[in-house]
Structure 1
């Protein structure tokens, strides 16, 4: 008799859950889509204060090259804040390599900024192909990150040919069209 009661109760329960299931799935899908829309269209306002300012930095790169505003002037520059432990950063770096290859005959530069130590970068660069752009590291990179309030990585800044910050984004994919527009249309 117990199984006789359980079967109709289970059937009613199954009917209820199956009738709500498509609605629940639809609501969940709409919520996810709304979240993605908001995520894609919300610009991090904490960086708005830097838009229109000159990028101001002076230091020495991993390879010993002096990097400052004057050495970057005249080129469209992407400043890429990254770290060796960040998988999203490493993915972004592959996109940056492709972009640099595509723009190699133009006035386009990339400046890497990693808070990793020189020793960690040595191991990282030996295990992979060395980046074809200068990279700041260690305390200089941390200081630059603090100056521009970089709290998450990857983070990219786009500088025009005069060294003015014109965009700050989560990754190169968010500003690639702006980079191409600046390089080709000035």
Structure 2
């Protein structure tokens, strides 16, 4: 009985180490992820390299995400012409509700969906533990901050 317990502990430890190593961390490049956008087109996340990019994980059913969307709309409107992009990644499992939220929240920035909720590959790669969660990438495509402040985002946009 003790050996089975030890084997289970070893497997659990191995899986936790493996999942931690799979998560993106500061200094890592854009993950090679392809997701569908709100127009049914497949988009490669790393295609945004060359711009300062804020990746925003959210969902239509998340009240905090919907509140944050209002601030993201203002930020996007103000800085979109300065080599800046916000890429929303929804963890909605109901595509229709996601599309309704995009319209209702007046989101003009690129919107992608990984429709497996918190079991989604992108959630595992980014290490998303809750939403909203944001990830700031430099123009060279390197992760520089997780859940940055608005001041950090603006400072990165203004870097030449």
Calculate the TM-score normalised by the size of structure 2: 0.75
Does 2:95 correspond to 1:118? yes
Of 50, 72, 81, 1:96 maps to 72
Change (3 A) 1:140 1:77: farther
Q: RMSD in angstroms over aligned alpha carbons?
A: 2.4
Identify which of structures 1 and 2 has the higher relative contact order when contacts are C-alpha pairs closer than 8 Å and 6+ apart: 2
Find the aligned partners of 2:71 and 2:86 in 1 and give their Cα distance.
12
Q: Hey, which bits of structure 1, 4+ residues long, moved more than 4 A?
A: none
Match of 2:38 in 1: 62
Q: How many residues align?
A: 136
Find the aligned partners of 1:164 and 1:140 in 2 and give their Cα distance.
25
Pairwise mapping of residues 76-155 of structure 1 onto structure 2 (< 5 A)?
76-116=52-92, 117-126=94-103, 128-137=104-113, 138-139=115-116, 142-155=120-133
Shift of 1:78: 0.4
Shift of 1:49: 5.8
Change (3 A) 1:162 1:177: same
**Higher normalized helix content (fraction of residues):** 1
Contact 1:61 1:136 in 2 (8 A): yes
Q: Which sections of structure 1, spanning at least 5 residues, go unmatched?
A: 1-45
Pairwise mapping of residues 24-43 of structure 1 onto structure 2 (< 5 A)?
none
Match of 1:161 in 2: 139
Match of 1:75 in 2: 51
Match of 1:178 in 2: 152
